[in-house]
Chains A and B, each alone.
Chain A
Amino acid sequence: MTGTQIELVVAAVEESAHAVRTVRLVAPDGAPLPSFVPGSHLVVDCGGRSNAYSLVGESIAPAEYAISVLLVEDGSGGSAWVHGLAAGDRVSALRPRSAFAPIASATRHLLVAGGIGVTPVVSHLRAARHWGRDVQVLYVFREGHGAHVDDVKELAGDAAEFFGDRVGFTERLRTVLAEQPLGTHVYVCGPGAMIDDVLEAATEAGWPASRVHSERFGLDALDPGEPFRVTLTETGTDVEVPSGTSLLEALEGVGLDVPNLCRQGVCGECRIPVSAGTPLHRDLYLTDEEKQACDAIMPCVSRADGPTLEVPL
């Protein structure tokens, strides 16, 4: 048990823009869901693979988690799976994680959205209205493909500008970046190429990197990792470690008592030796030298870089 898994039920599905479905998820017992930081994403188990989707609804003990998902025709199937959902379906997810948070000390928030990248911006705007934050929005999307346009209009009013073409957007962006008051932070979410363009324009306009924030999914949460097999030489058994299960959990599953505290790769308590195979180190505890030595591993977060690992336990 990771403690972060939550079970949800689809309350409603609506076609909110061309090829975009907004799915409203509620707790099975209808209780309020855990609060989340604006801009957070929900990692959804899309029938065996995990995809991260930004939450677009209210964030304080909300009645529902809403996600808006663009159908990606040549994608890996996650969006198609979401588009196949209907009211009453069960969905399992991880609790919301924050990786694109509003900066509390910003004097103004310049929010730049491209296409379906508007989703975390909607969440930022809801919080901005509640806390009386100064915002400005630039939103570029293809005609007919604009998700949450009405939400942005309602939440940001005159502070929002909409663009149907890249040229007009880019021109306006350069002007806007040049005329911000001191203490403004810029946030950008959209297609990779668009994020790169905005970052480049901001750099050219003299923005320090610490004032520019972009959302690329999946960097914060540790990914579930590839499955591997660990050989316990003292015990004389092999243990399979599936994707999504930590090595520590797998060892505990066969009755091994590994001392541990934080289970996040920080405290150093669960360190175990490695006798063969290459660890994929994901912890913050071991030094670079210790990691290169490949003779120890923090099983709470680290895995095998390859199909097998051998530990003298």
Chain B
Amino acid sequence: MPPTSTATSTDDPLVTGFPFPFPEDRYRYSTNVEPAGGAVVTPAGQWGTAVVDIDVEYVRELDERREILARDPGRHAVLPHMRGAAWDTLLTLMREMALTNPDQMTLTRDPGGTGDAHAWRWENRLLGVVQDFRYGDDATLPDEPLAYIASQVQEDIVLLDQRNDALWGDAGVVTFAADWSFGFDVGMSFLEIHGPVPRLRELGVITRAHEFLKRLQPHEPYRRTNWTLTIGRRLDVSTELYPEWGPDREMIQHVDDETFGRLVHLRVEVQHLIRLPESGAICFLIRTYMLPLEQLATVEPWRVRAATVIAELPEDMADYKGIIKYRDRAAAWLLAAGESA
């Protein structure tokens, strides 16, 4: 059974900063977008003030991304016409990070004082990086610009080009996909990418989201959350690695309660939607947070709410999320964690 003391776990930044995703006892798909940047106070702390969030996992997750990209370069793709959008993303995210973390990060324009408005210097003291570059000149960076900025942020990045009254997923660096494959989706339209999700089209949710994104304006980022359950603290549950993690969905049904609470994580994505100011492309940031049920249960309102939502989730949605085999046990586990307290 999980520990009943909350004194230590509520000091854990992974708990205090956790973006608990359930505002109600029932979860359904909706166009749940809201302006970015607002603080959300939770029973354990708060989240939401930063568009690019840096937490205690920063260095570890960036190391993991680098290893994944070295092993599987297909997680990174930039179609030729997205070069401008890649640069736009780089500058936009650097400005955002420097503004949010002035002690650790600095972006300086024209560092040499030569009057060159396209010359910049990026300093990231968390990684010991000092990088001079010229906006738009790929040769001034050690890597392709989207890959470079992906080495500085924990977020996965997808860039959508807007043309012909539709959005196209034409670039990205996605190493922490939850049961999908960026390499498979690259070049698809937004509507095609979301085709497999049950209910979305019938509800009009995805067409509304599409209309919303097409009208998104620069300098007014929005955000939404999404969630699922993941077995183990495994960020990379991409389709490419299914043979590695797929069997866990069977295995988890046979472990004891203590192991179950330690292994099953509530996985939350905070997604930011940004209209890039110079290219006009949409930058879609996906940031993944994970909390094992045993830690989730130490925050009483989260334990109760999560148990209710997971128990009530309709079959087709649970099936699509890949949790149908163990969601009943997850709900029961959370309920039982209260009785033992």
Contact = CB atoms under 8 A, between A and B. Distances in A.
Interface of A: 3-4, 32, 34-38, 58-61, 63, 95-98, 101, 103-106, 127, 130-131, 210, 261-264, 266-268, 284-285
Contacts of A210: 163-164
A35 B218 contact: yes
Contact of A34 (B32, B164, B219): B219
Nearest to A266: B212
A10 B106 CA distance: 30
Nearest to B217: A97
A264 B34 CA distance: 10
B278 A266 contact: no
Contacts of A95: 217-219
Interface stretch (B82-90, B227-235, B241-249): B82-90
B211 A105 contact: no
Contact of B33 (A34, A127, A261): A261
B271 to A, nearest CB: 14
B262 interface: no
A266 B218 contact: no
What 7 pairs across the A-B complex have the smallest Cβ distances?
A35-B277, A266-B212, A37-B280, A105-B81, A104-B81, A261-B34, A101-B280
A3 B208 contact: no
A35 B10 CA distance: 41
Contacts of B162: 101
B85 A104 contact: yes
A129 to B, nearest CB: 10
Given A36-B218, A98-B218, A59 B278 contact: yes
Contact of A262 (B34, B109, B118, B164): B34
A58 B109 CA distance: 15
Contact of B277 (A3, A36, A262): A36
Contacts of B34: 261-262, 267
A4 B220 contact: yes
A264 B213 CA distance: 11
14 contacts: A3-B220, A38-B278, A95-B217, A95-B219, A104-B161, A106-B81, A130-B118, A266-B208, A266-B209, A267-B30, A267-B33, A267-B212, A284-B208, A285-B208
Contacts of B164: 210
A222 to B, nearest CB: 10
Interface in B293-341: none
A37 B219 CA distance: 12
B129 interface: no
B178 interface: no
B135 interface: yes
Contact of A131 (B136, B209, B222, B277): B136
B314 to A, nearest CB: 20
Interface string B148-175: 0000000000000111100000000000
A275 B4 CA distance: 53
Contacts of B211: 266, 284
B139 to A, nearest CB: 13
Contacts of B84: 104, 131
B215 interface: yes
Q: Which DSSP category, helix, strand, loop or mixed, fits chain B's interface?
A: mixed
Chain B interface extent, by class: 35 or more
B238 interface: no
Contacts of B33: 261-262, 266-267
Contacts of A3: 220
A266 B212 CA distance: 6
Contacts of B81: 104-106
Contacts of A32: 109
Given A104-B279, A266-B215, 12 more contacts: A37-B279, A61-B109, A104-B163, A105-B163, A106-B81, A130-B118, A130-B136, A210-B163, A267-B30, A267-B212, A284-B208, A285-B208
Interface in B30-45: 30-35
B198 to A, nearest CB: 20
B281 interface: yes
B117 interface: yes
B136 A261 contact: no
Nearest to B79: A105
A112 B136 CA distance: 26
A152 B135 CA distance: 23
B212 A104 contact: no
Contact of B35 (A59, A61, A105, A263): A263
Given A261-B32, A266-B211, A284-B212, A104 B217 contact: no
Contacts of A130: 118, 136
Most buried by B among A63, A103, A267, A285: A267
A63 to B, nearest CB: 8
B98 to A, nearest CB: 13
Contact of A267 (B32, B88, B163): B32
Nearest to B164: A210
A103 B163 contact: yes
Contacts of A263: 35
B201 to A, nearest CB: 15
B172 to A, nearest CB: 15
A97 to B, nearest CB: 7
Nearest to B220: A3
Contacts of B32: 261, 267
Interface in B55-105: 81-85, 88, 91
A34 B91 CA distance: 12
